[in-house]
Structure 1
Amino acid sequence: MTTETLIRVASLCVLLACAETLHGIARTVLVVPRIGKDRAIKLSALTGSILAFMICYVFVPAIGLQGPAQHLALGLLLATFMALFDMGMGLLVMRKSWRKVMTDFDPRTGNYLVLGLAFLVWAPTLVFLLEVCCG
């Protein structure tokens, strides 16, 4: 893997983190007052996944990966980065306890972050497949 590829991947991680942070702020300020926290959290799993896919659709092809395996590896890296970023934000910025942070990943508590992360694992591969078939 070249230095340029590493820079592009790192840039994609930072871009996704910034976009999802702004997405979370918008949810809290604009959506929660209108539909409530529980419904807003569920809706944001869908809108966050769409946002992440759109970012991947624009930026993943420029990374220059070859084949579905490399794209899946990228997806695993992105999902891991975003999970760690979310934990870091919860613990360090929002000063949540470990228990509360881990609740954000548990769909049984009404939080669907883990489903969004699962989608993110496959988003680069989906972009690759769309490029192959629709060109």
Structure 2
Amino acid sequence: MSWDALLRMASLCVLLACAETLHGIARTTLVVPRLGKGRAIKLSALTGTLLAFCICWLRVPGIGLQTAGEHLALGLGLAAFMAVFDMAIGRWVMRKSWAKLWPDFDPRTGNYLLFGLLGLCVIPLLVWLSHRA
């Protein structure tokens, strides 16, 4: 894998992190007051996944990956990066304790972040398959 491809992957991580951060701010300020926190969190799992798909639709083909395995590896890397990014924001920016962070990843608590991360695992593969057709 070339340095250029690695740089493009890193820029995709940063772009997704920025977009999801703005998405979270919009959810908190615009959607929560209208729908309530529970519904807003559920809706944002869907809209966040769609946002990630759109960004990947535009950026993944330019990375230059050639196989399904490479695209799955990219998806796993993106999901891992976003999970760590989410924990870092929660821990060091929002000052949440570790005990308050873990429920964000647990669907039993009404949070669907885990499903969004699982979706992100396969989005690059779906984009690649769609562009091949």
Range class of TM-score, shorter chain? over 0.9
- Residue 111 of structure 1: CA displacement? 0.1
Name the residue aligned to 2:12.
12
- TM-score, normalised by the number of residues in structure 2: 0.99
- Note if 1:125 corresponds to 2:129: no
AA at the equivalent of 2:75: G
* Residues 38-57 of structure 1: pairs in structure 2 closer than 5 A: 38-57=38-57
Alignment of 1:1-135 (within 5 A): 1-133=1-133
TM-score, normalisation: structure 1: 0.98
SS class of match (2:105): coil
Sequence identity of aligned pairs in percent? 67
Deviation beyond 3 Å, 4+ runs, structure 1: none
RMSD: 0.4
Structure 2 residue identity aligned to 1:70? E
Which sections of structure 1, spanning at least 5 residues, go unmatched?
A: none
Number of equivalent positions = 133
Report the CA distance between 1:132 and its aligned residue: 1.1
Shift of the alpha carbon at 1:106? 0.2
Q: CA deviation at 1:95?
A: 0.3
User: Which runs of 5 or more structure 2 residues have no equivalent in the other structure?
Assistant: none
